[in-house]
Amino acid sequence: MNRLLIIGPPGAGKGTQAVRIAEKLNIPAISTGDIFRKNIKEETELGKEAKRYIDSGNLVPDSVTNNMVRARLAEEDAANGFLLDGYPRNVAQVQELDSILEDMGVEIGRVLLLVADNDELVQRLLNRAAEQGRSDDNEEVIRHRLKVYEEETAPLVALYTERGIVKEINGLGDIDEVTERILDALK
Ligand code: AMP
């Protein structure tokens, strides 16, 4: 039960909740978006490769993302569990994750699906744009990211539902309240 995914549209609060839940469970929160942003800041090759996709709100190619995740999950701190935030994001990445986990001899225990309605999402992302100045938080790119989520990532929910491991969580309300809902869902 300590190998977890958190899935949800941009703005649902995945990053915030992932950090809190991971801390509580004493496992690393692994955010592919954060890893990309760190690489962009440090101007690494990976960062240069990823930047144009991120700035336009598109997915970074699987060839780049999958290798990055495989390497991260092989690190020592992930041996006893992890919470993946922002990966997998399309069906091909689900297959890759299945293969990575098979090689590690482990399985996903739960998929946390964080939901909120679209107007709320856009509003939160616009607020975050004002606070954090993320390069992909302007209205046009936000709408595109929501569309990419609907088209590429939302279909994953059915896939994991078939495996019987999805818990849907209402992402509305204050941060502590949502954290409590998630912890309840993990009991
Ligand atoms: P996030 O911080 O999860 O909202 O991710 C920000 C951006 O990073 C996304 O809009 C994508 O461009 C890129 N990204 C993050 N995770 C992935 C992934 N699993 N596959 C492809 N691109 C990703």
pLDDT digits (tens, 9 = 90+) for 93-124: 999 999 999 999 999 999 999 999 988 898 99
Residue identifier of the C-alpha nearest atom 1 of ligand 1: 33
Give the domain ranges of the chain: 3-185
- 14 carries an active-site annotation: yes
Burial of 138 per CB tally in 10 Å (0-12, 13-18, 19+): middle
- CATH fold of 3-185: Rossmann fold (3.40.50)
Query: Is the CB of 32 within 6 Å of ligand 1?
Result: yes
Q: Exactly one of 3, 20, 72, 89 is catalytic; name it.
A: 89
The 10s digit of each residue's pLDDT in 168-187 is 999 999 999 999 999 999 99
Coil, strand or helix at 147: helix
The model's pTM is 0.95
Q: For ligand 1, pick from 5, 7, 16, 36 the residue to mutate: most ligand atoms within 8 Å of CB.
A: 36
Which atom of ligand 1 is nearest to 58's Cα? 12
